[in-house]
Homo-oligomer: A and B are copies of this chain.
Amino acid sequence: MNLLLLFPEELTSTQNQARLCDRRHRHIRQVLRAEVGDEIKVGLVNGALGKGRLTKIDDQCVEMDLRFDCDPPPPLPSTLILALPRPKVLKRLLQTITSFGVKKIYLLNAARVEKSYWQTPLLRPGSLLEQFLLGLEQAGDTVLPELHCQKLFKPFVEDELPTLLAGTLPLVAHPAGSDPCPASLKRPTTLAVGPEGGFVPYEIDKLMECGFRPVHLGERVLRVEAAVPALLGRMS
């Protein structure tokens, strides 16, 4: 946790104090080992960054005076369309993607996505929020990503994707017969990443009809959880 995130409703009516009694209380006491008078980095969910000066710490809770005076880092101008990975991978990946500053995530069905993955409790709002908060706390960011589940490939690609792509460079990670992924793009991109085993030819064709260009990261086949950070690190 490199940043302590607070929800607006956790602040006093004067907006300059807070009292925390949950895992953040434990983190301040046990990990940071902070004392009264210490300042820690705080952020308001979907708002500004600032400092919290600790005014009280005991076994039950911690109280602090707050000052918000700084903008969160700018978002990564990339939209990520990700074939739903298996739940264990999804969990880590949601934190990772959030820590990179991606603000628009589409989880997409594909031929090689196991149907059962859509049943994971990870996709419940509370659980998604937890992963996003962990990613933001890691990165020092406050702005929650939006996540959309698209369980039907064809209607999404045909009806919604063309609008989403407007003004962005659409790239799909596809090792076979493609160009090296461009680096240091200083423009909005839409990146599509398939499931383990890749998108099937029909899916690649549909994405290419939409304007996606297939790109690769070399001859090696990477796991989704390695490929996504590699692509985001390369393109940013």
Contacts and interface: CB of A to CB of B under 8 A. Distances in A.
- Of A2, A232, A234, chain B has the most CB atoms within 10 Å of the CB of A234
Interface in A14-58: none
Nearest to A228: B229
Contacts of A234: 183, 230, 233-234, 236
A221 interface: yes
B100 A219 contact: no
Interface string A136-163: 0011110000000000000000000000
Given A183-B183, A183-B184, A184-B183, A229 B233 contact: yes
B236 A233 contact: no
B236 A218 contact: yes
Interface string A174-201: 0000000101100000000000000000
Interface residues of A, number: 32
A230 B95 CA distance: 14
Interface of A: 2, 73, 76, 95-96, 99-101, 138-141, 181, 183-184, 217-223, 225-227, 229-234, 236
Given A73-B218, A138-B223, A230-B232, 11 more contacts: A96-B225, A99-B221, A100-B222, A101-B220, A141-B220, A183-B234, A184-B184, A227-B229, A230-B230, A232-B233, A233-B234
